[in-house]
Amino acid sequence: MEKQHKFSIWYVLIAIWIVLIIQNLIVQMFAVERIPYSEFVKALEAGSVVEVAVTQDRIQGKIRVTEDGKEVEKAFTTVRVDPDLSQLLEKYNVTFKGVIESHFLRNLVSWLFPVLFLVAVWYFMMRRFAAQQGSFLTLGKKRAKVYMEDEVGVTFDDAAGVDEAKEELVEVIDFLKTPEKFTKLGGKLPKGILLVGPPGTGKTLLARAVAGESNVPFFSMSGSEFVELFVGMGAARVRDLFAQAKGKAPCIIFIDELDALGKARGIGITGGHDEREQTLNQLLVEMDGFDPTIGVILMAATNRPEILDPALLRPGRFDRHILVDRPDRKGRAEILKVHMKGITVDKDVDTDTIAGMTPGFVGADLANLANEATLLAVRHDKEKVGTAEFQEAVERIIAGLEKKNRLINEKERNIVAYHEVGHALVALSLPDGDVVRKVSIIPRGVAALGYTMQVPTEDRFLMTKSELLNKIAVALGGRAAEEIQFQDVSTGAHNDLSRATDIARSMVKEYGMSSELGHVYVEKERQRRFPDMGLPLAKDYSEQTAQVIDREVKTILDSQYEVAMGILTGHRKVLDEGAALVLKKETIEGDRLKKLLDADKAA
Ligand code: ADP
Ligand code: MG
Ligand code: ZN
C-alpha cells in the first residue's frame, strides 16, 4: 500500500505540470496584446488597422505590424476613450463590428484540454490500480471479481478432531449431492450455516471440505475484503456474488470472517450509513431473497459470534450454528496424523505422546508444529523427522503461544480440572439430576475455561423445590472442589455463582419456596414503560421484605454449598482420581466418572 501511495502522488505531480504547460501554450496561441489608445489612433492614421470590433468600453481587433522584416497580423485590445470612434473609423475606412467576439472558444479549449487530460490520467491510474487490486472500476461494466473454485480438492479427511461439526455438516453434503431428494419431500434446509469457533480450529477448512465432499463449486469471500472496498462496491459485490452463485447451483457461498462485515450496526462513531453497513444490508437483502431449494448453501465463519449484528442471526438467515471447538488430546493426535502425511516421519514418533504435550493447541498450531519439526530436521541434516524435532518444535510454539496468552498454564489446568470434576461429582451424587455427559477442561467458546455437559433426561415443564436446590448445589460444586483441594477459590466460578444466585432468588421471590417469606409472590412482572427513562422500577415490597429476601437467598446458597462440600469430601478419592483423569485425557465421558463413584460407594 505504501508503495502504491507514492506512485500515485508522482503521477499527480506530473499531471499538474503537464496541464500548466498546455494551458500556457493555449494562452499564447490566442495571445492578445494590450496597447494604449494613443498607439491605436496612431495605427489608424498609419492605415495598419485591419479590422476592429467595438463595445461600450473596449476596442479589439487586428493590426498589421512588421516583425523581423515580415508583415504579420496581430490581435490587440485597448480601452475605448473617444465616444465618437465610429466617425474616426469611417474616416480611415476600417471595417468594424459592434460586438467583441466572445472568448468562449478560447476559454473552452484552454479548460477542456487540461480537464480531459486529467481524466485520462485518472483513468489510466485506476486501470493500473484495478489490475493490482482486482477490479473495482468495473462497476456496471464487468462483473465484480468473485472467487470461485470449481474443484476444491479438500475432503473431510483433511479436517480431523472435529467430528461433531462434521456430523452436522453431513446433511448439508447430502443435500448438495442430491437436492432433488430433499425438495421432493418438501424438506427445507437452513439457509445459512454459521461455523463458530476459536481461530485456527479449521472453520475455513471445513467449509471447503463440504464443497470438496459434495463436488460443487465453492464461492468464497472474506468479510474484510468487502469492507476495504470503496463506497457502494461492497454491496455491488454481494449482489454479484449471489447472482453468480445462483447460476452455478448447486454450490456453496462462503463468507469467511463474517464479523468484519457483520458487526452490529450503529456501533461506529459516525453512526450513519457507512460502507460496511450498506454491504451488510445488501447481504441481508440477498439472504432474504434467495430460495435454498435451488441448491445454494450459504456458509459463514466467525470467531466472534457475540459481536455479530442480531439481524444476521435471525431465523431464515444464519440460524444454524455449528461449533468448531478446540480439539482434545485424541483430536490433536488425529490432526497430527493428517499433517504428518506429507512428511517423512521416524517410526518412533508417537502422535499420542505429542498430543499430550500440546494442550490448548488448535489445528493451525499443529499444522505449524509439523512444519516446524520438518524444518528442524532439515537443519539437523536428518533423513527423517524424529521425536526430538517434534519436542523442540513444541517448546518453541508453546513459548510463542504463551506470549500471546493463548494457553492456560499447568496450575490453571489443575484448578479447572478439580472445578469441573466437582460439578460433575455433585451432579452424579444427587438424585434425579441431569445426566452428566462429558467433563472437559478444554476451553469452550469465548469465556469458559472448561465445561461439564449435562443433558436433561426428559423435557421438563415443572421443577420441584428439591430439584432446584440440587441445581444450586451442582453449580456450587465447582467452587467447593477448589476449596477442598487448594484451600483457596478462584474467579473461575463467577458464572456458576450468578446462576446459583438467580435460581435462589427466583425460588424466594417467585416460587414461594422460602420458609420465612412463605408463599408470596413479590416479583411482579411489569410492562416496560415507554419511553424507558432508565429509572429503576419501584419495588412492590417494603425494605423489610427486601432484607428477608436477601437473607433467605443467602441461606439457600450457604446450605447448598454445604451439601456440595459434604458430597465432595465424602468422595475425596474420586475427586482426585477424576481430576487426574481429566487432566490426562482433557475430556472424559460422564459414565467413566460414574463408575469411579460407584466403586467408591461400594468400598
Ligand atoms: P479457521 O478458519 O478456523 O481460523 P483454518 O481452517 O484457516 O482455521 O485452519 C488453518 C489451517 O490449520 C488449515 O489450513 C489446516 O492446515 C490447519 N487445521 C486447522 N484445523 C484443522 C483440523 N481440524 N484438522 C486438520 N488441520 C487443521
Ligand atoms: Mg478462517
Ligand atoms: Zn463452573
pLDDT tens by residue, 29-41: 767 778 888 888 8
pLDDT classification of 527: cutoffs 50, 70, 90: very low
What is the mean predicted confidence (pLDDT) over 505-524?
Answer: 83
List, for residues 480-497, the tens digit of each pLDDT value: 999 999 999 888 888 899
Which residue CA neighbors atom 5 of ligand 1 most closely?
A: 202
pLDDT computed for residue 137 by the predictor:
45
Q: Is 207 left (phi over 0), alpha (psi -120 to 50) or beta?
A: alpha
In the chain, % of residues over pLDDT 90: 33
Could you tell me how many helices (H) and strands (E) the chain has, helices first? Answer: 22, 14
Please indicate, yes or no, whether residues 185 and 202 belong to a single structural domain of this protein: yes
Looking at the CA of residue 365, tell me the nearest atom of ligand 1.
Answer: 12
According to the model, what pLDDT value does residue 481 have? 96
Closest residue by CA, ligand 1 atom 24: 159
Q: How confident is the model at residue 428 (pLDDT cuts 50, 70, 90)?
A: very high
One domain for residues 414 and 523 = yes
Question: Residue 537 has what pLDDT?
Answer: 57
Q: Which of 196, 201, 205 to mutate to test the pocket of ligand 1 (most atoms within 8 A of CB)?
A: 205
Are residues 342 and 239 both part of a single domain?
A: no
Of 420, 482, 552, 586, the catalytic one is 420
CA distance 481 to 484: 5
Q: Worst-scoring range by mean pLDDT, 249-263, 376-390, 402-416, 577-591?
A: 402-416
Give the pLDDT band of residue 80 (cuts 50, 70, 90). confident
In this prediction, residue 367 carries a pLDDT of 95
Nearest residue (CA) to ligand 1, atom 17: 364
441 plus 488 within the same structural domain: yes
Of the chain, the percentage scoring pLDDT greater than 70 comes to 86
| Domain assignment of residue 128, yes or no | no
What is the number of domains present in the chain? 4
Of residues 34 and 447, which shows the higher confidence score?
Answer: 34
Q: Which ligand is nearest to the CA of 195?
A: 1
Ligand 1: which atom is nearest the Cα of residue 199? 4
CA of 461 to the centre of ligand 3 (A): 25
Question: Cα(298)–Cα(286) distance, rounded to whole angstroms?
Answer: 11
Flag whether pLDDT at 596 surpasses 80: yes
Nearest ligand by distance to the CA of 418: 3
Residues with CB under 5 A from ligand 2 (ion): 204
The answer on pLDDT for 3 being more than 50 is no
Which of 79, 102, 125 finishes a domain?
102
CATH number for 79 = 3.30.720.210
Determine the atom of ligand 1 nearest the C-alpha atom of 198: 3
Residue at which a domain ends, from 353, 377, 399: 399
Measured in angstroms, how far is the CA atom of residue 328 from the centroid of ligand 1? 15
- With respect to residue 455, please indicate whether it lies within any of the assigned structural domains: yes
Residues 445 and 585 in one domain: yes
Residue 367 within a domain = yes
Structural domain includes residue 204: yes
Per-residue pLDDT at 553 exceeds 90:
yes
Query: Which ligand is closest in space to the CA of residue 491?
Result: 3
* For ligand 1, atom 15: residue with the closest CA: 364
- Residue 478's H or E segment, with its range, is helix 465-486
Residue 516 is among the residues annotated as catalytic for this protein = no
* CATH number (domain holding residue 374): 1.10.8.60
What span, in angstroms and rounded, lies between the C-alpha atoms of 458 and 464? Answer: 15
CA–centroid distance, 424 to ligand 3, in Å, is 10
Return the top range by mean pLDDT from 344-358, 404-418, 446-460, 556-570.
556-570
Please give the Cα distance from 560 to 426 (Å, whole number): 11
The reply to whether omega before 179 is within 30° of 0 (cis) is no
Q: Are residues 313 and 352 in the same domain?
A: no
* Shared-domain flag, residues 356 and 221: no
* Residue-wise burial string across 467-498, b where 16 or more C-beta atoms lie within 10 A, e elsewhere: bbbbbbbbbbbbbbbbbbbeeeebebbeebee
CB 253 within 8 A of CB 299: yes
**Within a domain: 10:** no
User: Quick one: which ligand is closest to 324's CA?
Assistant: 1
Give tens-digit pLDDT for 127-145: 776 655 544 444 444 444 5
Q: Is residue 220 part of a domain?
A: yes
What residues are neighbours of ligand 3 (ion), with CB under 5 Å? 478, 496
pLDDT digits (tens, 9 = 90+) for 250-259: 889 999 999 8
- Whole-prediction pTM value? 0.65
**Atom 7 of ligand 1, residue of closest alpha carbon:** 204
Task: Classify residue 134: in a domain, yes or no.
Answer: no
User: Closest ligand 1 atom to the C-alpha of 338?
Assistant: 25
Q: For position 587, which CATH number holds?
A: 1.20.58.760
CATH number of the domain bearing residue 241: 3.40.50.300
Tell me the average pLDDT across 241-256. 88
Lowest mean pLDDT among 447-456, 475-484, 530-539: 530-539
Burial 304-329 (b: 16+ CB within 10 A, else e): bbeebbebbeeeebbebebbbbbbbb
Residue 298 lies in a domain: yes
- Considering the domain architecture, whether residues 446 and 358 belong to the same structural domain is answered as no
Residue 422 confidence (pLDDT): 95
Query: Does the structure show a pLDDT above 80 at 188?
Result: no
Lowest pLDDT segment from 148-162, 331-345, 550-564? 148-162
Q: Is the pLDDT of residue 597 over 90?
A: yes
Same domain, 387 and 471: no
- pLDDT for residue 359: 86
Q: Which domain holds residue 182?
A: 145-323
Q: pLDDT band at residue 6, thresholds of 50, 70 and 90?
A: low
What gap in Å lies between CA 22 and CA 528, rounded to an integer? 71
More confidently predicted of 527 and 184:
184
Mean pLDDT, range 119-126, rounded to an integer: 83
Same domain, 231 and 89: no
Q: Which residues contact 119 (CB under 8 A, 6 or more apart)?
A: none
Q: What is the whole-number distance in angstroms between the Cα of residue 367 and the centre of ligand 1?
A: 8
Measured from the alpha carbon of residue 224, the closest ligand is: 2
CA 222 to centroid of ligand 2, rounded, Å: 9
Nearest ligand 1 atom to the CA of 206 is 6
Minimum CA distance residue for ligand 1 atom 27: 363
In this structure, the answer to whether residues 382 and 434 fall within a common structural domain is no
Centre of ligand 1 to C-alpha 247, Å, is: 30
> Ligand 2 centroid to 206 CA: how many Å?
9
User: Which residues does a 6 A CB cutoff place in the pocket of ligand 1?
Assistant: 159-162, 197, 199-205, 301, 335, 338, 363-364, 367
Q: Are residues 414 and 533 in the same domain?
A: yes
Counting atoms of ligand 1 from 1, which one is nearest the CA of 324?
Answer: 3
Q: Which of 102, 129, 157 is the last residue of a domain?
A: 102
Of 7-11, 51-55, 147-151, 526-530, the range with the lowest mean pLDDT is 526-530
pLDDT of residue 2: 44
CA of 113 to the centre of ligand 1 (A): 56
DSSP reduced 3-state for 452: strand
Alpha helices in 220-350 (DSSP H): 223-228, 233-247, 258-262, 275-289, 310-313, 329-340
504 confidence band (pLDDT: 50, 70, 90): very high
